Amino acid sequence: MRLIIPGSQGILAYPISKNTGIPMGYAELEKLPDGEKYVRIPEQVAGKEIFLVNSFAYTPDEMIIETLFLIDTFKELGSEKIIGIFPYFPYSRLMRRFIKGEAAKLRTVSKLFKTAGLEKMYVVDFHLQNVDEIFDFEVVNISAMPLIADYITKNFELDSPVVVGADQVAEHWAKIVAEKLGCEYRLMRKIRIDAENVVVDSVPEVANMDVVIIDDIISTGGTVVQAIKALKSAGARRIYAACTHPVLSREALKMIYHVGIDGIIGTDTVLSPISHVSVSGLISESIKENEGFV
Ligand code: R5P
């Protein structure tokens, strides 16, 4: 028997349940006056395979601790297997220590999930391509880029476009979108100064071209803002941006609109005003394929 249970940010649980036919369950989740988390599972979960759906945006630390409480409680109540459906996974940009003494945060988070009893997880466009090597359990990493490319084709006005990866790491995603759009991709190079500031140190040839900037995450908006400025200076015509995870912290969207953009989209791995593409169908198909549904 299978059961889908949503966490506080498990908004994709219902469409995934509808698409896969896995029944929905329920967990009581509350934030107590002192800031602690209350978690209770009123469902019969013993002997069941649990699909726990949660995203970790806005309040990543709180969502991680809530998810750990849930996993540990499922285990204690005798669930057969716990599978995480975590469309947006935080701390994915810091696997190793760049500065002496810095916490290798992703490594710690991966150990916590393993210890709690997670046996497998589905993620969408995980920042690091070698995600399997980081977690000590099975990971299914799904890409939303083909869906994003479909949205771009249908909704953005493009004339001889070029796809521009926001940095070297974005090459993988820029390539997928460019192939679907039938155009070339090029890469920008950036140097990160701190969490909010980047400097673009290499801009590709884009004069008189429509440009689609592709990135996995738009967080503070620093990268996209600097990319737009650099592409405008390089003579780009229309400029659009697309990402999988529109984290859009603080004033990110305002800053991006202020610098001037012709269109911007993201998916619902993180709910935002630009989440026009849903990954629920994609995740459902992947579950059906990987979990042996007929
Ligand atoms: C970094 O390598 C990522 O791919 C994104 O470029 C980055 O997360 C964007 O962050 P921000 O919007 O804060 O510049």
* Predicted confidence (pLDDT) per residue in 242-271, tens digit: 999 999 999 999 999 999 999 999 999 999
Centroid of ligand 1 to alpha carbon of 4 (angstroms)? 31
Give Cβ neighbours of residue 44 (< 8 Å, ≥ 6 apart).
none
Q: Is the CB of 219 under 6 A from ligand 1?
A: yes
CB 150 within 8 A of CB 269: no
Ranges of each domain in the chain: 2-143+279-290, 145-277
Specify the pLDDT at position 25. 97
What's the one-letter identity of residue 53? Answer: V
Catalytic choice (114, 180, 190, 229)? 190
Q: Check whether 8 has a pLDDT greater than 80.
A: yes
Q: What is the pLDDT of residue 185?
A: 97
Burial class for 42, CB neighbours closer than 10 Å (0-12, 13-18, 19+):
exposed
Which of these CATH numbers, 3.90.1150.10, 3.30.470.10, 3.40.50.2020, 3.40.50.150, describes 2-143+279-290?
3.40.50.2020
Residue 96 has pLDDT above 70, yes or no: no
- Look up the pTM and report it: 0.95
Q: How far is the CA of 269 from the centre of ligand 1 (A)?
A: 16
Q: What is the number of other CB atoms lying within 10 angstroms of the CB of residue 171?
A: 15
pLDDT band, very low/low/confident/very high, at 70 (cuts 50, 70, 90):
very high
Dump pLDDT digits (tens) for 149-192: 999 999 999 998 999 999 999 999 999 999 999 999 999 998 88
Alpha-carbon span 230 to 224, nearest angstrom: 10
99 or 114, which is more confident = 114
Residue-level pLDDT at 102: 85
User: pLDDT at position 285, please?
Assistant: 97
Cα 223 to middle of ligand 1, angstroms: 6
Distance (Å, whole) CA 152 – CA 147: 9
Q: Which ligand 1 atom minimizes the distance to the CA of 222?
A: 14
Q: Residue 95: its pLDDT value, please?
A: 61
Give catalytic status of residue 190 as yes or no.
Answer: yes
- CATH-assigned architecture of domain 145-277: 3-Layer(aba) Sandwich (3.40)
Q: Is 284 in the pocket of ligand 1 (CB under 6 A)?
A: no
What value, to the nearest 5°, has the Cα angle with vertex 192 and ends 93 and 175?
60
CATH topology agreement for domains 2-143+279-290 and 145-277: yes
pLDDT, tens digit, 9 for 90 and up, residues 180-237: 999 999 999 988 888 888 888 989 999 999 999 999 999 999 999 999 999 999 999 9
Counting ligand 1 atoms within 8 A of each CB, the residue from 215, 226, 245, 274 with the most, and so the one to mutate, is 215
Ligand 1 atom nearest to CA at 247: 12
Q: What single-letter DSSP state applies at residue 22?
A: P
Instruction: Answer yes or no: is the C-beta of 163 below 6 A from any ligand 1 atom.
Output: no
